[in-house]
Structures are given as C-alpha cells and as structure tokens.
Chain A
Amino acid sequence: MIELIGLTKQFDDLTAVDRVTFSVAPGEILALLGPNGAGKTTTVRMLAAILRPTVGHAFVAGYSVTRQPQEVRRRVGLLTEHPGLYLRMRGKEYLDFFGRLMGLSACERERRARELLARFGMSQAWDQRMGTYSKGMRQKMALVRAMLHDPPVLLLDEPTSAMDPHSAKLVRDAILSLRHHRRAIVICTHNLAEAEALADRIAIIRRGKIIALGTPAELKARLLGPPLMELRLTHSTDGVVKLVSDLVKIQMKGDDWLRYSTPEPEEINPLLLRTLAAHGVGIVTLSEVPRSLEDVYLRVVEEGQEWQR
C-alpha cells in the first residue's frame, strides 16, 4: 500500500530525508519516530505528494508520488502537524468544503462528517465556528478532515497532541479500527507509549536516515539484548544460584529474587522451573522485566546506533 525506495529530499545544502526505504502493508500501522527536524514531516509530505522527492521513488495505493501526485492525494488522508483550520468557518462548512474537493457527493459529505464527528464526541461542533474550539477539538476536527473521504492510506502527524486522555483514547481506538478495515497508516509521534500501543512496526529516523526499523519486540530484543527475566522465590536465593547459573547467566540478585537474561525464554524458562521444582525450591513468580520503547529510542537516537532489519 505504501512503498518508499531510496526516497531522498534535498533543500539546498540540507538533506532532509536521505535514502529512506520501507513499506507499509494494508492493515498495518507504522510509527515514525525521531527527534525534531529528523525528517519525519518531510517524509510524510512526500508521501502525500505535496513535496517532490529529489531522488528515489514512493508509491502510495499503487500510484507514484512523482508521476501521479493527484491520484495519490485523492487516496491519502493527511493529518498535518498543525490543525490548520479556517477559524471563521463552522465545522459543517469546513468539512463540506474539503468533502467537495475530495469529490464526495452532498449526501456522502454530510453523512461522513456527522458520523465522524459523533465518533469523536464532537457532534456539538457541527454548527460552531471553529475559532471557538478548544485545542483538542481543533485537533479532532483536523483528524475528521483527514478521514472524511475514507482514504485507504492515512498519514497522521502527532494525532493525539493537545488532547485530553479521554479524547486521545477515542482517537487511538479510531486508528485501531482503521487497521481492522485494512487501511495503511503512518503515524509520526513523540509519544512513545502511544507508538508502542498502536504500531505494528516502528521506524526511527535521525538526520533524515532510518536508523532502526522493526516491530517493538524486535527492536527491544536487538537493541537492548535478550529479554530480562525476574524470578521471585519463597525464601533466600542461597543455594539456588548454583542451580540457575548452570542454565542461564544471572545479571542481578537480591535476598529472594534474581534476574537473568536468555535469548530463548520459551525453552529455558520451563526447563528452569522444572529443575527448581525438582529441587523443592518455592517459586512466587517468574516474569519478564518490562522494557519500554523509550529505552530503545533513547539508545538508538543518542548513540546513533545504525541498525536496520
């Protein structure tokens, strides 16, 4: 549905996007992460056929962004970095205007607009001037505009910024439901928890280059090492360490707990539990120590570690 091949954008001396290659399948959400000025917005603008790549190709819904930009724009819903609403217009006029430009019939425009506003809890905004909207409402209105023509591809730049937790959840649910309807979605965000919750795959971009690409689990495993397991016992770890270290490498230990890492938890953990049980060791819990995407992100971005699957 979305395919980028060596996509590059040069502004005078600045290479904003440098040979970016990835693809997004229908029903997949890809989160594009990176510091400010990394090239996320430029990448999205090229995918929306607003900016022309200097080098490379991109295909969106089967159309080339360079050769068929209008076809691409008809099939893309773009949520821009800033909502960019016309504040003197009412919600209904605004959506009607964009619906017309997208080629929707009058009935369809009204039906889709009302349906989406209701979905985001914005029905009351239909007849209100957008200048009176709160920041969150403006963001939701911009999202409704992007989704109005039911595009097969959505490019969402900071979709939940400025939203209260309830609104943000509504938007996240809407995005997840779009995945079920086989829409290809690219999200640019600084909200790493959101990216982790929504995205099937993560691409980290720095200075215009993709420096990491994969599922959250893959990124964690490859960048932070094998999963870290924590074993809590009913009594002291004395005498147990020997049994455990025959099977895995212990990383840390306390009075009644220890942590170890293993690249093959599916095989090692049952074996370890059987061994401990055979020696009559009382086990409270065996769990994976959670590692956040933030750890991955900070490590990749700060250290500039280049890795691509």
Chain B
Amino acid sequence: MAAVTERVRAATGEPLRMVLTLMGREIRDTLRDWRIVVPTVILTLFFPALMSFVADAALDWVARYGAPIIGERMLPFLLMIVGFFPISFSLVIALETFVGEKERRSLEPLLATPLTDTQLYLGKTLAAMTPPLLAAYLGITVYLVGLYFFKGWTPPPILLALILLLTTTEALVMVSGAVVVSSQTTSVRAANLLASFIIIPMALLIQGEAIIMFWANYSVLWWIVLFLVFVDVVLVRMGIHTFNREELLGREIDELNIGSLWRTFCKYLRWEPWLFGLDLQKMPAWLRWLGMLGGLYGRDIPTILRRSWLALVVVVIGLLFSAYIGCDFAARYQLPPEMLRLEHVSAETFAELPAVDWLPTFTIWGVLGNNVRSLLAGTLLAVFSFGTLAVVLLMAPLAIVFFFVTQAAHVGYNPVLFFAAFVLPHGVLELPAASIATALAVRLGATFMSPPRGMTVGEGWLWALADFVKVFIALVLPLLTLAAAIEVHVTPTIVVWALGG
C-alpha cells in the first residue's frame, strides 16, 4: 500500500503530464490512420505547392489584361485557403476522437483512470487540434516559400499574423464545436449529421473572409478573429461542461424521451402554496387558491428573480450602455430642429400614429402584441446566441429613446421633462417587465454554457424555461398589459399637457 501512496503523490502533482500523456497517445493513434494521414500530406505539401504555382501563373495572366490588382488580392486569399484546408480535418479528427471512442467502447477504461474531466477534455482537444494546425502552418510555409521563389512575394507581417490567428481560432472553433456535438450523440454517424451545425456556419464565414480578402480591408478580419475568440471561449466552456463522465456514460441512446422531458419541465413548473404562514388545510376549500397565488407571488417569483440576479445585472449593464450609445449618436448626428417641434403635438398626433407603417396600431392590444412579440423573438434568439441577442434586442429601443431625449435637449427642451412625459408613465412598468423577461431569456441561452451545478444541460435548460414561462405569464404579461393601457390612454394626455401646444 505504501507503493500506492507514493504513486498517488507522484500522480497528484502532475496534471499537465496527464494531459500530455493522453494527447501523445491520441496523436500517435491519429497518425497511424492512413485515411487521415494521406489527405493531410496532400493538403500540406502538394496543394500549397500547386497553389503557389497557380498564383504565379494567374498573376502573369491577369497582368497581361491590365488587372494586376486581382492577382495581388488573390495571393493573401490563397494564403488563407492553404491554411484552412488542413484544419478542416480537425473536425473529423475531433469527432473520431470523442464520439468514435465512445462508439468503440474504448472510452470507459479511460474514464476509470485518475484523469479529471477537464484533463480528458484538454488532452483530446489538443490532440485533435495539433496535427491539423501543424499541417496548416506547414502548408502556409510551403505556399510562401513557393511564392518567394516564383515571384519574390512575402506577406506583410501583420497579414501573416492575422492569417495564423484566423487559422488557429477556426481550428479551435471546429474542435470545440465537435466536442459539444459529440457529447450529444453516441455514434459517429449521428455526430457527422450534427456537424452540419459547425460546417455550414464555418463555410459561410470562409466565404465572408474571402470577400474581405478581395476587398483588402484586412482590419475587418481582426474583428472576425475577436468574434472567433469569443465563440471559442463559449464553446470550450460548453465542452468542459458537457464532456464529463456522467453525460458520456449516462447517455447510451440518442432517443429523445418527450414524456420524460415534459415531466421534468412540469416538475420545475410547480410551486408550493403559501399564504403568510397560514395553515391552508384549515381554510375553506374555496379559498385555497389564495395559497397558490401567495406561493407564486410571495415565494416562487422572488426566488426566481434572486437566482437570476446575474442575468439581471447583465441586462441592466446592457441598458445603461444602450442609453450611452443613444446619447452618443444623438450628439454626433443631430436632427434638424424642425423635426422635433413638440408644440404641435396634440391628441390627434397619437391618433395618426398607425399611418406610420412600421409602428404597431396604437391600441392596448397593438402595443401589448408588439411588446410580447419582441420579447418572445428575443427569447428565441437568446436560445441560439447564448443569451446575447436578447439583450441586444432590448438595447435597441432604449438607445432610440435616449437618442431622442438627447436630441430634445439639443433643441432646447428639458430632457428630464421629455423623458418623464414620453416614457416614464408606461415605462415605469414596461421597462422592468421587459428587463425581467430578457434576463430570464439570457438565463435560457446561457444555460448551454454553464448549466446549474448538479444538473445536466438539458435539466438546467428546462429549469430556466420553466422559470421563464412562470414569470412571463404571472408577472411580465400583467405588467405589459397595464403598461400598454397607460401608454395608449395616459401617456398621450401627459405629453400634450406637458409639452404640447
């Protein structure tokens, strides 16, 4: 047993060694598969050499027709392409190393070792990325050496750094995306089908990059690198959460159990009755519904809001930022003063609002329908954007509001009075309601990245969905209805009284 203790000590202090051991094995295994090695060698050595030859010939050809600019723009484009082709293999390798091993049943012995889930994830991710990335760098080198000898062309160092960064971040997106896909399936076939969610956006991105390359506005590519880094962070975080022993072995079949999902959702939807500590059993049966109401508003909704505090903070920061953007834009792009002649505002002005195509009908149902539609659209977008687009969608109207408040100040109106008259009467209800709904939508999207402790991604998402449904129906909808009624019947009167002619 002393030997065991000694070995334990040796193993404890070397988490990196464990990662490298796993990575080494995976890379050796990959390099023994001729189906991966042969195409990689072709794409690394033969294809870049061919590309430099093609580039040389194309440059001469277009120069003969007086369009040397096409050739000049083609060189960086091909540089990006020779880097991208080898890294496209990282997706295949990642699917093979994650879900392939699960399918071949060789994963369980590995899960029985002292490797932590994170070490497993890192070892496999690095193993899936390293050979294609090295191949990509080598391919870029071959292409550049070829072009140097043919044409004496060398890329600007910044462009080269940009291409290397793009290649690396794209490889990580594909590998980390493949891990997320792999953790949702039990077969390579299913994983390959789901991989379209990675391949299609990546193909669109490459097309976009190609256009930018020909446009030669390389600064835009830095924003793409930044975006890819953000996506990498999100996907790696998701991968670390989903690639764990429990998920890998708990999911033995890909069947979607609708009944079980529904029961789980209903479980999260329920709440305990409560009425200021009264014994509900002693109350007359016809009054017991008050307990359900008390439990929902007195206990459940406050608890939900408390556990959504971080999302609420994110929304508030977003709103403050949108107010700043609105003010900033108003300062930079001032409207002509005649556009804001509020002395002419009357009750008829509001009655004529439906004539403006893009505005909803100015009735309670029109305003309410528009608000509900926007919030639900934001929630839908939140699901596909880890919560971010819901905040962006809420920021847009507030930025517009503050744009006009600032414009009003420039024209000479009191901005506080303007805001108090136009926004505050209904905004005092509408804004908190929309913020709460958006915060819950953020939680719905963010759960994919970071499920609550002790829950799977699916359970966490159903929990967030149940919270959203409860709060939306019981709190947001009544507040929005009330706000719509005030907006239609009270706000115009106040505006006319305070600012009208």
Residues of A within 8 A of B (CB): 11-13, 45, 48, 50-52, 70-71, 73-76, 78, 80-82, 84-86, 88-89, 93, 97-98, 100-105, 142, 145, 149-152
Contact = CB atoms under 8 A, between A and B. Distances in A.
B104 interface: yes
Contact of B113 (A52, A86, A89, A98): A98
B382 to A, nearest CB: 26
Given A12-B257, A45-B249, A97-B25, A102 B109 contact: no
A283 to B, nearest CB: 54
A92 to B, nearest CB: 13
Contacts of A70: 114, 116
B245 to A, nearest CB: 5
A78 B7 contact: no
B4 interface: yes
Given A13-B260, A145-B109, 13 more contacts: A11-B250, A12-B257, A13-B257, A51-B249, A52-B246, A81-B105, A84-B107, A84-B109, A86-B106, A101-B110, A102-B7, A103-B14, A151-B4
Given A74-B11, A78-B112, A80-B109, A88 B1 contact: no
B68 to A, nearest CB: 50
Nearest to B117: A69
Contacts of B116: 70
Contact of B115 (A89, A101, A150): A101
B441 to A, nearest CB: 26
A112 B214 CA distance: 61
Contacts of A152: 1, 4
Contacts of B110: 101
Nearest to A14: B260
Contacts of B246: 51-52
Contact of A51 (B25, B115, B250): B250
Interface string B22-33: 100100110011
23 contacts: A12-B264, A13-B263, A45-B249, A50-B112, A51-B246, A51-B250, A70-B114, A70-B116, A71-B8, A78-B108, A78-B109, A80-B108, A84-B106, A84-B109, A85-B106, A86-B29, A88-B29, A89-B28, A101-B113, A103-B10, A103-B11, A142-B109, A151-B4
Contacts of A102: 7, 11, 113-114
Describe B's contact surface by its main secondary structure. helix
A121 to B, nearest CB: 22
B207 interface: no
B109 to A, nearest CB: 5
Interface of B: 1, 3-4, 7-8, 10-11, 14, 17-18, 21-22, 25, 28-29, 32-33, 104-116, 245-246, 249-250, 257, 259-260, 263-264
Contact of B109 (A13, A98, A100, A105): A98
Contacts of B109: 78, 80, 84, 98, 142, 145
A45 B7 CA distance: 23
B473 to A, nearest CB: 26
B452 to A, nearest CB: 15
B107 A74 contact: no
Given A73-B112, A103-B114, A50 B21 contact: no
A75 B5 CA distance: 10
Given A13-B263, A73-B112, A74-B4, A101 B18 contact: yes
A85 B113 CA distance: 14
B17 to A, nearest CB: 8
A93 B24 CA distance: 11
Contact of B245 (A50, A98, A100): A50
A104 B17 CA distance: 12
A51 B114 contact: no
A52 B116 CA distance: 14
B111 A101 contact: no
Nearest to A80: B108
Given A11-B250, A80-B105, A88 B115 contact: no
B15 to A, nearest CB: 10
B114 A73 contact: yes
Give the 3 A-B residue pairs with the shortest CB-CB distance, closest first.
A103-B11, A84-B106, A82-B105
A157 B4 CA distance: 23
A88 B32 contact: yes
B4 A101 contact: no
Contacts of B259: 13
B459 to A, nearest CB: 9
Contacts of A52: 245-246
Nearest to A103: B11
A151 B8 CA distance: 12
B394 to A, nearest CB: 35
Contacts of A11: 250
A93 B25 CA distance: 9
A140 to B, nearest CB: 14
B257 A101 contact: no
B7 A103 contact: yes
B112 A80 contact: yes
Contact of A74 (B8, B29, B245): B8
Contact of A84 (B4, B28, B104, B263): B104
Nearest to A101: B113
B114 A74 contact: yes
B424 to A, nearest CB: 49
Contact of A88 (B11, B21, B33, B264): B33
Nearest to B10: A103
**Most chain A beta-carbon neighbours within 10 Å: one of B4, B10, B109, B250:** B109
A84 B100 CA distance: 12
B20 to A, nearest CB: 10
A152 B7 CA distance: 13
